[in-house]
């Protein structure tokens, strides 16, 4: 199972992991996606690059499974034993779970094609307020709900409230997906 996990990570990166430099690249990709540090030596052990007879910790395997979009090592293993047609395809893109990753006042910039930019502030309970917007149908003061943002995938928002109109669902970046970045909090910008 560990060898299969390693192969899937190499496929996701579109890069074979064979040299110390490759392990540094993997380490950087893991940190960029999950904000978790894994040592190069640990990764070398998992890949069998170092000839040490050490079984990787479940926590390390869970981080690698999470890198592929699975909840943990156990979730990866359960999916891997299913027949090919029933296996899920992992989400390989950077993702943000709103409930666990954001505090009230945190701000994000969403961008999507063509030239769409929308700054939003998290106000709690999976709810955001638009604080600035260029070339989008979202306007300053609009509010909406969203529980997960997956980079380069469409952003599905619910309960979009624009003025006095009834709440609607809306999709941002339907064709090309949405990218996000953290901004300074709205209150510190003023």
pLDDT digits (tens, 9 = 90+) for 28-37: 988 888 889 9
Q: For residue 7, what are its two tokens?
A: 């192969």
- Convert the pLDDT of each residue in 105-121 to its tens digit: 999 999 999 999 999 99
Instruction: Name the β-bridge partners of 155.
Output: 172
Write down how long the chain is: 190
pLDDT tens per residue across all 190 residues of the chain: 898 889 888 888 888 999 999 999 999 988 888 889 999 999 999 999 988 778 889 999 999 988 887 888 988 888 776 555 555 555 556 778 888 788 899 999 999 999 999 999 999 989 999 999 999 999 999 999 998 898 888 899 999 999 999 999 999 998 888 988 888 755 444 4
Distances in Å between the Cα of 56 and the Cα atoms of 8, 33, 45, 53, 126 are: 17, 21, 7, 10, 36
- Convert the pLDDT of each residue in 138-163 to its tens digit: 999 999 999 889 888 889 999 999 99
């Amino acid at each position: 199972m560990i060898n299969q996990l390693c192969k899937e990570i190499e496929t996701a990166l579109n890069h074979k992991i064979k040299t110390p430099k490759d392990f540094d690249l993997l380490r950087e990709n893991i940190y960029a996606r999950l904000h978790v540090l894994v040592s190069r030596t640990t990764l070398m052990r998992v890949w069998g690059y170092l000839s040490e007879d050490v079984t990787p910790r479940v926590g390390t395997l869970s981080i690698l499974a999470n890198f592929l979009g699975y909840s943990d090592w156990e979730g990866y293993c359960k999916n891997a034993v299913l027949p090919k047609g029933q296996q899920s395809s992992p989400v390989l893109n950077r993702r943000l779970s709103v409930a666990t990753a954001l505090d009230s006042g945190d701000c994000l910039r969403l961008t999507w094609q063509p030239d769409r930019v929308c700054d939003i502030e998290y106000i709690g309970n999976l709810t955001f307020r638009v604080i600035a917007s260029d070339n989008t149908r979202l306007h300053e003061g609009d509010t909406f709900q969203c529980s997960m943002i997956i980079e380069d995938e469409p952003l599905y928002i619910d309960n979009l409230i624009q003025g006095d109109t009834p709440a609607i669902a809306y999709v941002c970046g339907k064709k090309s997906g949405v990218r996000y970045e953290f901004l300074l909090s709205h209150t510190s910008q003023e």
